[in-house]
A and B are shown apart, each in its own frame.
Chain A
Amino acid sequence: MSFFAELEHFSANTAAIDAHGTPYRYGELVDAADTFGRALQTDRKSLVFILCRNNIETLAGYLGTLRAGHTGVLLAANTDRGLMANLLELYRPDFIWGPSDRGGDARFTWKGYALSAGPSPREEAIHPELALLLSTSGSTGSPKMVRLTAANLEANAQSIAEYLALDETERPITSLPMNYSYGLSVVNSHLKVGATLLLTDASIITRPFWTAFNDLKATSFAGVPYTYEMLRRIKFFTMDLPGLRTMTQAGGKLTPEFAREFAEYAAANQLRFFIMYGQTEATARISYVPPEQAVEKHRSIGVAIPRGELRLIDGDGNPITQPGVDGELVYTGPNVMLGYAQSSADLVKGNELNGELHTGDIARFDDDGFYYVTGRKKRFIKIFGNRVNLDEIEHYLKGRGYVSVCGGRDDLLCVATTEPGKVDEIKKLVTATYGFHHTAVRVAEVAEILKSASGKIQYERIFEGMLD
């Protein structure tokens, strides 16, 4: 059975409406996807870089690649040149599907996109089950990828469609990019039920977004914490949005006051507000708070999605069975990735996790079985919903010759360097390379990198003065 076989059942439904207002039926989308699939070489399983925008070309390329049994890699179309060159060298794709203006010899074109051959396709084989690679950090272009199967994608889409109670009358507007696991989960879960995607790249703080929202009668949108902060600033609570039914939030922890505000607003206006939690390593979604409990449980990440299971373990790996006790959050379910990939050599690897994901998040549960994330085991922060590995940035800066360490909190990356007079230079390099806004990055010069007696870097002491 081909990937998302149910698409064919909805052939007369409208699958998507693009930014120009042009509708595409499911039948047309499947035809476009399968035509694209035939343009890919067939004598071996191929790797296809898909340069994503929220448009019909990206959607057809993604579905076509998977339906033809090849492996897709979803990347932002505006990925920094240097990062893209690095990814091309590490993964050596057979094909690249992207905007036509990228240039190069096109083997196949459709609308504004062209298919070209990769500069130096790899020799290593691809595991038969491997369907998709997603970056662990969303749009920042980290070369570390999550390996997903078609079954992962289908299972997660099914679970999401169930707890959101989606049907074919839904019209979600694409407020997040498709190369981001959360954005992709919106696409997959709605295609599963024959709903209509409203495709736009416009940001929620621009007129084109709200024009599309109202003209095309959007029923839902998805947002990371920063989306909700922006919505507050543009007085979302005073907007007249008659078609809106559902708001979902994931991609990091929303400030409890904001979570409560949105939950109360939703309750008072017959809207559903879903606070959710997940990781790209679990395709996207792991848990959710049922909307009728959103006000009461607004600090919670909720309960496991259908067919998934959450539990906690202590430092020795033993299960925690008491409410209110912190431990590492472990998720088990059919949407857990095969494992990570760092380069093309990893594409042949099989299932290394066997359905069990150690999330790296520290959590506890309450008497009702609702989970609460209280900390993180791993050294990463989220910048506007995208995961940023602090060790990776440290490593990158070291590679560029800067002695420095990284720390911070969500939406604020801090770098401490012992290099004299290099503060501005480092800040420019980090903001340009990773695409962070300058207000999200602080760099300071320090006399020394503080270490404990045992030689461990004392991140908390180094960054305590920079975090205010």
Chain B
Amino acid sequence: MENTEKLRQVFAESLEIDKNKVVDSLEYNSIPEWDSVAHMSLVAAIDSAFDIMLDTDDVIDMSSFGEAKKILAKYDVEF
């Protein structure tokens, strides 16, 4: 639960959107704030917040907030 909040905070800050907009169904490119530039900034923020280095496949598969949680689980981040 704690990590869900942490990830939600990272999303809200990187995309500069309200935290309550960060829900599982929030998708890449579905809002102007989440474009490719924001995506790279988001990836860097996740890397540093969770002290990991996302793989190529994970960077390009991270197409929604829900997907991001699934991907992070592979890096032993518990939700």
Contact = CB atoms under 8 A, between A and B. Distances in A.
Interface of A: 78, 203-207, 209-210, 226, 229-230, 233-235, 238-239, 384, 431, 435, 437-440
Nearest to B44: A233
Nearest to A206: B60
Given A209-B60, A438-B16, 6 more contacts: A205-B39, A206-B63, A233-B43, A234-B60, A437-B38, A439-B37
A209 B61 CA distance: 11
Contact of B40 (A205, A209, A235, A438): A205
A230 B40 CA distance: 7
A207 B60 contact: yes
Interface in B3-53: 16, 28-29, 32, 35-41, 43
Given A437-B41, A438-B16, A439-B41, A233 B59 contact: yes
B56 A238 contact: yes
Top-7 shortest CB links A-B: A437-B37, A203-B36, A234-B56, A235-B56, A438-B16, A207-B60, A234-B59
Contacts of B63: 206-207
Given A78-B32, A206-B60, A435-B32, A233 B40 contact: yes
B11 to A, nearest CB: 14
A122 to B, nearest CB: 30
16 contacts: A203-B35, A205-B39, A206-B60, A206-B63, A210-B60, A226-B37, A230-B36, A234-B56, A235-B55, A235-B56, A384-B37, A431-B16, A437-B37, A437-B38, A437-B41, A440-B37
Contacts of A438: 16
B56 A207 contact: no
A437 B60 contact: no
A204 B40 CA distance: 11
Contacts of A234: 56, 59-60
Contacts of A230: 36, 40
A235 B63 CA distance: 18
A438 B32 CA distance: 12
A235 B56 CA distance: 6
Contacts of B61: 207
A431 B38 CA distance: 12
B29 to A, nearest CB: 8
Contacts of B43: 233
A205 B37 CA distance: 10
A204 B39 CA distance: 11
Contact of B35 (A209, A229, A437): A437
A83 to B, nearest CB: 13
A431 B37 CA distance: 13
Contacts of A210: 60
A203 B40 CA distance: 11
Nearest to B28: A206
Nearest to A209: B60
Nearest to A428: B16
A13 B55 CA distance: 39
B59 A205 contact: yes
Contacts of A439: 37, 41
The residue in A78, A205, A384 that gathers the most chain B C-beta atoms within 10 A of its C-beta is A205
Given A233-B43, A233-B59, A234-B59, A205 B32 contact: no
A173 to B, nearest CB: 15
A435 B36 CA distance: 12
Most B C-beta atoms less than 10 A away, residue of A233, A384, A435: A233
Nearest to B60: A207
Contacts of B35: 203, 437
Contacts of A78: 32
Given A233-B59, A234-B60, A205 B36 contact: yes
Contacts of A209: 60
Contacts of B16: 431, 438
- For A203, A226, A235, the residue with the greatest tally of chain B CB atoms inside 10 Å of its CB is A203
